[in-house]
Amino acid sequence: MSCRHSRPRVVWRKVFYLVNYRGPYNDMTPILSIIIVSWNVRALLEKCLASLAQDLTPAPSSKEREVSTEVIVVDNASTDGTTEWLRSLQLTTYNLQLTTNTTNRGFAAANNQGMRATMGEYVLLLNPDTELRPHALDTMVIFMQSHPRCGIVGPKLLNRDGTVQPSVRRFPDAWGPILLSLGMAPQRYLATNFDYKKAQTVDQVMGACFLIRRALIEDIGLLDEKFFIWFEEVDYCKRAKSAGWEVWYTPDASIVHHGGKSFSQQRTLQKQWWYSKSLLYYFWKHRQWGAWFLNALTVPLRLLLRAWK
């Protein structure tokens, strides 16, 4: 839920103290590291961090939290005042870490910057266009702790009106992305029969809220920076499963996802080019030669359709 107040300066000082609350043991390594990559979405980032602060606020009956945290924001050269606003927050916050880039380095590279700076046993990649529902963080960490072979877990994503937002897909095959680009709904690829009321292992979860176990990062490494945007989380899930880890979806934690607000600022044709480039690299990397060939043939058609729109 968003957090609106009449005196934002006073409120934000309180909010960001709570974001970095660690209970009485401030010298302990955090259990959870949260990375948020932003690009020209200051208004949404404010709501995201406000919801984060609410979720991290200790219960009235407790003096300490179950999950100690650190928060790292990586800004990809925003021009909407995001970095200036975040720097002002650092003056009133003892542990909000900020990294600013002079160019837009993309989702994978910016998240890797954050991951290299983390200390937590679990690392959460969180989009700035999200708002946490109560207890989402604790629930996901507890889920990880109770599933030792779970390397990645994703929560239930909700639209602004509270309806479930599809966030689970199977790994792409040759025809799924082609049919999708033509306006069709490939049932297998989109996992249209998926039961979002049930916790279960899956191929991939959406990267909007993507919790990773530290042991998995140590096992397979960071995100592949050759993906500028799109398919980096698909590739990471693929690599995790290939290494013997499990990828899970849980409905017990939920967040509101406003969906693609950063890259909605880009031209449609540019987005289609980035999508196609990442898709082809994914197929090439995982040696799906037939899928690569068929989808490469359709790239001109996809670009033409987008340009026509």
The reported pTM is 0.87
What CA–CA distance (Å, rounded) separates 71 from 256? Answer: 19
DSSP state of 172: P
Predicted pLDDT at 9 = 30
Predicted pLDDT at 272 = 85
Predicted pLDDT at 29 = 79
Predicted pLDDT at 128 = 96
Are 175 and 298 contacting, i.e. CB atoms less than 8 angstroms apart? no
Low-confidence ranges of the chain (pLDDT < 50): 1-27, 63, 94
Q: What is the CATH number of domain 8-264?
A: 3.90.550.10
What CA–CA distance (Å, rounded) separates 285 from 108? Answer: 16
Three-point CA angle 176, 245, 109, nearest 5°: 70
